[in-house]
Amino acid sequence: MRIPESASALTLTVLIVDDSRAQRHMVAMQLRRWGYVVIEAESGLAALEACRVAQVDIVISDWMMPGLSGLEFCKAFRALDRQSYGYFVLLTSKSEKTEIADGLEAGADDFLTKPVSGGELRARLRAGERMLSMQAELLAKNRMIVSTLEELQAIYDSLDRDLIEARKVQQTLIRDRLQDFGAAKVALLLRNSGRVGGDLVGSFRIDPHRIAIYAIDVSGHGVASAMMTARLAGLLTGSTPDQNLVFRKTTDGGHEALAPACVMDRFNRLMLDEIQVEQYFTMAYAEIDLQDGTTRIAQAGHPHPAVLRRSGKVELVGKGGLPIGLIPFAEFETVTVQLAPGDRLILISDGVTECPGLNGADFGDAGLARSLARSAHLDGPEILQALVWDLVEHFGGDSFPDDVSGVSLEYSGYGARQ
């Protein structure tokens, strides 16, 4: 066996395997004249060793050889751990279809009959070159694809880390998930379907005798929706009346709370006249008088608020209304509900009512009413958690397709601590 010390990267290397020295030299002479780098091996075992130490592009191997036959060598060659494809030509005097089939099964690409014709050999080599060229092109494209996928994966990982942090920040928007206002306790639920979501729930004190609760669902999912919820949260903070859209200044420099329908109208005008984005949102907003339980509610395309009476009866209230940010001069209505001690007011997102079930039907208002009635004996946080459990059973898992959020207000009557 003779292996060249070096070979041009632009020149193909051909391995000739034949136990006949004269046959090897005759073929090798033609190949070198055509510009190929040639390696010679006198047996299949020697050829395998050559393939382990040199990059062989094309193999021309005799079929009938002592020791390892050409067919056996072809199988062993295909089993080698190679980075590129090797074109394999078997030299044979066999012409039977079954023998040719055996060669193809072993991994041979082409066949040449002995004695070898120079023109036919050249044609077979050109066919091999075309195959190797296509394979090299595919490898280059695959490497480019792999490189691009690796870059995309790095970008995705970076975005995913950012979204995880954004989720943490978004969760801080409802840091106090249980608030005690004396005559009423408020519990909040927020479960995003993705890293971040477009739902927002909260509560704040309007004055010593009134509180507000709200639930918002921004259209879409992801970062844009999460950013909108962050902005809306800043517009519903009770600690800064000047920035809270629920309040307006009075002539004496103070602040007064707008009626719920006016709150919806103010948000609608803000979205259309100032924010001017493609997004819109649904909202339910309620103002509760802690002294007598009088509750005023406005609804803007959000699911109907539910009143769970102390007796276990469930009443769906509200006028429906249009989403905020879609139609100029949309009209909203305020409805009044009277809460008695022991009653609950519950606002939920459409991630609850529109949650699909195993039977193909949505959870719906009926499912909400059944869940609340079964859980009437539970307190605020527990009643919301029970609702989630019922959704899990209905959906068949806890990876809900939409954000799930809710607010539960439990009215106990006017208390000493306000």
Which amino acid is residue 215, in one-letter code? A
Does the pLDDT of residue 8 top 50, yes or no?
no
| pLDDT value for 180 | 92
Looking at CATH, the fold of the domain delimited by 13-137 is given as Rossmann fold (3.40.50)
pTM of the complete model: 0.64
| pLDDT value for 7 | 40
Q: Which residues lie closer than 8 Å to 127 by C-beta, 6 or more apart? A: 110
For 18-73, the pLDDT digits (tens) are 988 888 898 899 899 998 999 999 999 999 999 988 889 999 998 888 888 888 99
For 387-406, the pLDDT digits (tens) are 999 999 999 998 999 989 99
Closest CA to 52 of 27, 29, 82: 82
Q: Does a cis peptide bond (omega within 30 degrees of 0) precede residue 4?
A: no
CATH class of 176-411: alpha beta
Q: Nearest 5°: CA angle at 319, between 316 and 320?
A: 90
For 65-113, the pLDDT digits (tens) are 888 888 899 999 989 988 888 899 988 876 666 677 888 888 888 888 8
For 285-332, the pLDDT digits (tens) are 999 999 999 999 999 999 999 999 999 999 999 888 899 999 998 999
| pLDDT value for 227 | 80
Domain coordinates in residue numbering, the chain: 13-137, 176-411
Q: Cα separations (Å) of 364 from 66, 151, 245, 342, 367?
A: 80, 43, 31, 25, 5
For 139-198, the pLDDT digits (tens) are 888 888 988 888 888 876 776 666 566 556 655 656 667 899 999 999 999 888 766 678
Confidence of residue 417 (pLDDT cuts 50, 70, 90): very low
